Structure 1
């Protein structure tokens, strides 16, 4: 081999090595996915024992478990995770535990004071109906819940109101509740729910996103005119920063909107969001994002400077789940890139650095999530939704593996 050919070969090998998100690291395998899911099945039983009767697990901190009532926005994630793990394992005890918590949640179908009914009802009852096939038991609950969510939509702002303070605040998190409305249209045959979903997604696309495809956390509208009053943050480092979980909510939400509508503009948009996140200079090598993409650059005198190194595994779980779905929507190198990036995230989440040992962590699966640093709330603790999307991503990985083999 002459010198020119040798240089060319080295260049090609370097390019291939650089393109792969798994460079220098063991590939995530089906056996590892099964081991992680089997661990989750046993660990959630620990959480069940520590959960207060009549309450729903939320987090764990300083040796104590914290639960919520059914009206809290995270209330659907624990029963949803139980149902995912029942789907995986077939253990009837997990279905029994889930049904106990579903009885607590059912009254939230009448709740018109929150936009989080997708998290609360679709992640729980939606999974219950899909997994058990018992449409009769869950149809009315889901449709009534969707009606309650739809009451928060305004044809003036062309969006669903998130909070009942300020003027008409809409947060990026609300993209995640649109799946509930889409499913309600399929279940009922009523296009009204899906129409609201599409209009809200389009409004969010127009007003929440910057030119680089990062997003604001909050957009506050004038409820009388629909005009934007202010773009700001509630949980990020500052108004113009890129709060990490918000970027993942958007990525997941627009991926879902493409799946549910077939409109390619949503897939194109999701791809641009993914590019922003994965190519960000502050993305750590293990792809477990910091709590805010701008956090590593905060000045020493910033009030959040002591938090620059905090990771948020809930962002990572969401991102992995979304990327696995995206990998089935595109072809060739891009499909491989999304899949292997998700695999790397799952590989790292499944290590001792982020996965709790059996019986520890209050029964939660993952360590090192961030709820809200500006509110000094749930900082560097496990969170129920981080576990939910981690288990979902593991199941999606298994489904992808079987579909491609």
Structure 2
């Protein structure tokens, strides 16, 4: 503890936020100029040793991150050309609001895109689309289990047709909370709270590390097993999964003001922070057997940095809050270094993210959600430094 206090006192923020945001604008400008006219035209990744983006269509789970990134660029620059681009790419996702839910990722897809758009413009058409999306997402809720079904289809090791819930699903609850306050049913709020509570009970080990997936009996709600899908092993701490938990429970506390969720957000944060390497960028899985040669996951670092900045503003314990803010700033400093920024390698913001290592997919790559949470974290830090809320109410 004494060493930690000395470290915190010695830390002087060195990051010039506007310089990093200007860098993001430059990179986004290059990406926007290279996008094909025909669909699929949503940038998803630049693979290791490559220089060009791979593109996906609106049904891909990552489809909301590029338009969301554009909304953040618009928020920073106030340049209407970015508003127009963000709107154009967001509109491509509109069918998701009205068709049958194919998985839980509607929050990622629609709240990152239309949610940011509505926050920045107040466009009533965006609100209509978001409310419809929330109702579509709610169709995946199983009241016997108490959570939203993540994959309504056969996935290996999920014992389909039993009910599966993945940690990533925590992020989609923000859409439900928003909708319940903006004309949607109170049931949407209740679903979000039920999902967070049930996940808190069943998704975590005694040390507060998380399973990636929990499989439930769809008729009784009984927990069948906790497993991984993208992590190293069923009993390992998959880095991005833990970062989803940190971000998710911070957001749930913001929306509910229930201190149980605030306490839990701290617990899942502390176990993550306690196991990080010196540069604060996690290996793709904290239990990967080939550490220190295992791939890193810059996306998990960006997600966690963004979450910790908000968490630091929600706490009464100012010493603990300062710890979280300092760690978040240190993570952003590392991500903003030549080791992690893409710069001349490609037009993404960041290098060294890992998507699905067991499937050998997007290993040590540039990935759109890493960029999204990186620019989000920079904008949040800019607000924190001047005493503003990181998330204005929609």
Report the TM-score when normalising by structure 1.
0.89
Q: Distance in 1 between matches of 2:294 and 2:64?
A: 30
1:318-353 Cα shifts (integer Å, max 9, x gaps): 110011001111132111111111010011110000
Residues paired across the two proteins, number: 375
Greater Cα shift, 57-66 or 114-123:
57-66
**1:138-287, aligned counterparts within 5 Å?**
138-163=126-151, 164-165=153-154, 166=160, 167-280=162-275, 283-287=276-280
Runs of 4+ that moved beyond 6 A: none
Match of residue 397 from structure 1: 381
Match of residue 122 from structure 1: 111
Shift of 1:168: 1.1
The structure 2 residue matched to 1:59, chosen from 41, 45, 65, is: 45
Contact between 1:28 and 1:346, CA under 8 Å: does it hold in 2?
Answer: no
Residue 300 of structure 2 is aligned to residue 315 of structure 1? yes
Shift of 1:16: 5.3
Shift of 1:190: 1.9
Q: Could you list the runs of 5+ residues in structure 1 that have no partner in the other structure?
A: 1-14, 299-304
Contact between 1:218 and 1:233, CA under 8 Å: does it hold in 2?
Answer: yes
Shift of 1:26: 5.6
Q: Distance in 2 between matches of 1:81 and 1:20?
A: 36
Match of residue 334 from structure 2: 348
Shift of 1:203: 0.5
Q: Distance in 2 between matches of 1:34 and 1:326?
A: 22
Match of residue 338 from structure 1: 324
Over 3 Å counting, the alpha-carbon distance change for 1:186 and 1:400 in structure 2 is same
1:230-281 Cα shifts (integer Å, max 9, x gaps): 211000001110100000000100000000011010000000011101112x
Three-state SS of the structure 1 residue aligned to 2:341 is coil
Match of residue 289 from structure 1: 282
Q: Distance in 2 between matches of 1:355 and 1:23?
A: 27
1:5-27 Cα shifts (integer Å, max 9, x gaps): xxxxxxxxxx6553355587662
**1:366-377, aligned counterparts within 5 Å?**
366-377=350-361
Q: Distance in 2 between matches of 1:23 and 1:311?
A: 28
Three-state SS of the structure 1 residue aligned to 2:104 is coil
Q: Distance in 2 between matches of 1:72 and 1:106?
A: 13
Contact between 1:21 and 1:341, CA under 8 Å: does it hold in 2?
Answer: no
Greater Cα shift, 327-336 or 70-79:
327-336
Shift of 1:28: 3.2
Shift of 1:102: 1.4
Q: Distance in 1 between matches of 2:45 and 2:11?
A: 31
Q: Distance in 2 between matches of 1:107 and 1:123?
A: 15
Shift of 1:64: 3.0
Alpha-carbon RMSD across the aligned residues, in angstroms, is 1.6
Q: Which has the larger radius of gyration?
A: 1
